[in-house]
């Protein structure tokens, strides 16, 4: 039965801007969706740019509250994507995020709200406060060592926190890569998707 990979874009982008990943991650019986975030990008309110939450004036102190406030819109986008593909079981869903999309994907599983089958977080961070209740699914945290937008230390810290909470979180740091999905991360994501799509669901 078909499974679904939901591609989650970063702030100031939109679903079609991340849809290119589907060509690189394609598997048999795997469908892809790339929803737009629910809010217009408040730094460019005219045009297709979207955001899951505002980064205007964001700080380490208020980021968690902004992520929490964005959960309803994020969850609605996931449910709509699943409904469009006739999927009701979150275990048949993989979340693949970039930047702010990764923040939201990691929050979805770290809070225990979404018991998905796989998570790939490119260039992200874990903004979810304790206690963490992560879904028992494989997670890949891929990050460029030269990222000047979200430092790679954020993914390293996320892996530490998720592992301490019992999650299966893998860290891949890619040299000579900034704030972008890299070739090594994409290759590892493709391998994990292949393992997942050929495995039985329990």
- Rounded Cα–Cα distance for residues 122 and 142 (Å): 5
Q: Which of 99, 102, 123, 155 is catalytic?
A: 99
Tokens of 167: 């999650």
- Rounded Cα–Cα distance for residues 130 and 161 (Å): 9
Widest pairwise Cα distance in the chain: 45
Question: Which residues fall within 8 angstroms of residue 145, CB to CB, at 6 or more apart?
Answer: 152, 173, 174, 175, 176, 177
Active site residue 147: yes
Q: Which of 107, 123, 147, 155 is catalytic?
A: 147
Pairing of strands 138-144, 39-40: unpaired
Just list the catalytic residues: 99, 147, 179
């Amino acid at each position: 039965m078909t499974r679904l990979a939901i591609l989650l874009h970063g702030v100031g982008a939109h679903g079609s801007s991340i849809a290119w990943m589907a060509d690189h991650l394609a598997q048999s019986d795997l469908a892809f969706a790339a929803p737009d975030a629910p809010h217009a990008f408040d730094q460019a309110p005219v045009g297709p740019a979207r955001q899951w939450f505002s980064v205007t004036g964001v700080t380490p102190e208020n980021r968690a509250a902004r992520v929490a406030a964005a959960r309803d819109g994020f969850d609605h986008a996931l449910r709509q994507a699943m409904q469009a593909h006739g999927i009701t079981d979150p275990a048949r869903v993989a979340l693949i995020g970039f930047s702010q999309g990764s923040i939201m994907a990691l929050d979805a599983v770290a809070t225990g709200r979404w018991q998905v089958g796989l998570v790939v977080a490119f260039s992200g961070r874990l903004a979810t406060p304790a206690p963490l209740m992560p879904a028992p699914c494989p997670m890949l945290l891929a990050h460029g060592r030269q990222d000047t937008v979200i430092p790679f230390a954020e993914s390293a810290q996320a892996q530490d926190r998720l592992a301490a909470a019992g999650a299966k979180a893998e860290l891949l740091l890619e040299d000579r890569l900034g704030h972008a999905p890299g070739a090594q991360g994409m290759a590892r994501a493709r391998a994990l998707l292949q393992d997942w799509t050929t495995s039985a669901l329990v």
